[in-house]
Chain A
């Protein structure tokens, strides 16, 4: 016999369907307003004559240090990217620390250093913050929250809304998928796989800025928790069109492919922290690819699929053997805490 779910499960935080339902049924219900209801990565709000993008994100990753970064670098990249994919120029960040009693100063110092270095790289200033220390066992070593604001030009406010997408538009990603989730998983679990998989954790505001300055983009989103599959499913639902992707065009590192084969995961469901999905008119494809290819953070970019006037609201993958299958959002929890 099934019981009605009464408590929060880990799956409620996984970025997939369960979390979506939680947000709809609890948070949106109580906080309802027209800006929040857009459910975008960053809210776009009017402040005087300017349009400001405002976002917040909490980081609870385990382990704190992983190949390619640490919680400090991640805390900057995550928030900077949420602003950048909303079409904003990120400007200022806040940083809050919740620290468990007994946490080594040395680790905190390294994390603060990376935070500062990444903020400098992204060209944002950390202008305010907060520190709390809790009893041993009341949080897992260290949690960080960052919030950020940036300016949005008037001609870029459409990007979060996915307004003018039509069949034939193309979907681009700036590189290989699944690196972050798999590298963290490998660092955390005792697999003893010898791999060279490194998290893709990076601030994307400069590369995105270049694309926006030189071409036309209809929609962008960073495929973090829940992976590419979840972002594309949300988009397909929002625009009520179909999305088709080609497995053979998906850039996936061999190490990630192998780990996914062994563990039974789909790279499309694995988190990324330095990737952006771009939807644009077909005519802008070559120019966008050209810009991405010339940037360290876009070298392995690819057009991975297109918007179609078929199977509305669904994402379909054409596989290498000629078969087709529906790609769902992640349901429940696939991986341990990864961001």
Chain B
């Protein structure tokens, strides 16, 4: 398949692997922030192609996994309100909340619909004027502009029964939080599609202040290998900087139109992350100007404080401190068919990836 096969050529990947072995003997820990990268590493068996001194750890970049239990509990509470249709991306439907999941609430009669684009929510709203449609907005700078576009479209089309429950998040604060918390990281493989929107300036602090290398990478095996090579060169030479490996998609300034839409509709706020607690200015809330579309302003509900499931170490896995193999629930009590923690639910979750590609 064009634009895919070229980046999966075995010879190319092996040749990068050979170069990598010659570049450095330093021990280095590289965090791939994005769940899509974690998947690619395991799907293509890349860990086996790295020299033993280079260690990859997975970060907090799977949107489903980092959505707080509180958010899931809120979604569940909304789904029980008569007259509400919940629209959601499919991955979220099986995430366990404190007592149940959206999948189980759907079986109990709640109207919960899986959509592939937020714009479908607007269609559903138009076709069901007597109902209220609440879209569960999750994801980083990749999906957030689409949610923003839907809000703008709802406003211009005067759709009055469409709401967003936003758990949208932004990437840089959590990357900094991990470093400040003391997680040992020598360099980041930065998310390709987030950066395609935001541009690279968001990582400048990491290189300048924290002296960490950042390489924005694509999702094919040769992309990933090349990004690791670029980081290894940076780390070996003691010259941390922000570089783009994924040049066919990412440009320094990012997607200015998407940024404008995003900033028009959303504003930063402190936000909860599953397993990581509250991180300052890391979440996106709908600006007051668009509050008519903000579910939190319309449906006031009290949610009891939630606790993480017993024995689940998703929090440490999301911080790159532990691997799924170190979790006593992994593969036993917690499987994709019957997940305990969020990392096992999403196709991009670290635990689900380890489970799927274990060998």
Contacts and interface: CB of A to CB of B under 8 A. Distances in A.
A257 B1 contact: yes
A18 B14 CA distance: 39
Given A2-B96, A261-B4, A8 B107 contact: yes
Contact of A325 (B8, B335, B348, B359): B359
Interface centre among A257, A258, A331 (most CB of B within 10 A): A331
A11 B99 contact: no
B337 A17 contact: yes
A269 B99 CA distance: 30
Given A191-B116, A264-B347, A323 B98 contact: no
A140 interface: no
A28 interface: no
Interface string B91-129: 000101011100110111000000011001001000000
Interface string A1-36: 111010111110000111000000000000000000
A322 B10 contact: yes
A324 B359 contact: yes
A189 interface: yes
A330 B335 CA distance: 12
B290 interface: no
A258 to B, nearest CB: 6
A250 to B, nearest CB: 13
Contacts, number: 83
Interface in B1-47: 1, 4, 8, 10, 13-14, 42-46
Interface in B206-235: 221
A321 B221 contact: yes
Contacts of A324: 45, 359
Given A1-B99, A9-B104, A323-B45, A332 B94 contact: yes
A328 interface: yes
A1 B337 CA distance: 16
A190 interface: yes
B187 interface: no
A320 interface: yes
Q: What is the size category of the interface that chain B forms with chain A?
A: 35 or more
Nearest to A261: B4
B116 A189 contact: yes
Given A7-B107, A332-B337, A254 B48 contact: no
Nearest to B306: A1
Interface string A44-58: 000000000000000
Contacts of A134: none
Contacts of B123: 190
Interface in A280-339: 316, 319-326, 328, 331-332
Nearest to A318: B45
Nearest to B225: A321
Contact of B108 (A1, A7, A11, A321): A7
A76 to B, nearest CB: 30
Given A1-B99, A189-B116, A326-B357, A321 B10 contact: yes
A9 B116 contact: no
B104 A325 contact: no
Contacts of B264: none
Contacts of B309: 1-2
Nearest to B47: A323
A322 B45 contact: yes
Given A2-B96, A190-B120, A254-B1, A321 B103 contact: no
B349 interface: no
Interface string B235-261: 000000000000000000000000000
B103 A9 contact: yes
A31 B99 CA distance: 33
B336 A3 contact: no
Contacts of A316: 359
B158 interface: no
A185 to B, nearest CB: 10
Contacts of B14: 322
B9 to A, nearest CB: 8
Interface in A247-263: 254, 257-258, 261, 263
Contacts of A264: 347-348
A141 B269 CA distance: 47
B340 interface: yes
Given A3-B99, A257-B1, A321 B359 contact: no
Nearest to B347: A264
A312 to B, nearest CB: 14
Among A2, A8, A9, A258, the one with the most B-chain Cβ atoms within 10 Å of its Cβ is: A2
**6 closest residue pairs by CB, A with B:** A323-B45, A331-B337, A7-B107, A331-B336, A325-B357, A321-B44
Given A257-B1, A258-B1, A321-B221, 13 more contacts: A1-B99, A1-B310, A5-B338, A10-B106, A189-B116, A263-B116, A319-B44, A321-B44, A322-B14, A323-B43, A323-B45, A325-B358, A331-B337
27 contacts: A2-B96, A3-B99, A3-B104, A10-B103, A10-B106, A11-B103, A17-B337, A189-B116, A190-B123, A316-B359, A319-B43, A319-B44, A320-B10, A321-B10, A322-B10, A322-B14, A323-B43, A323-B48, A324-B359, A325-B42, A325-B43, A326-B359, A328-B355, A331-B335, A331-B336, A331-B337, A332-B336
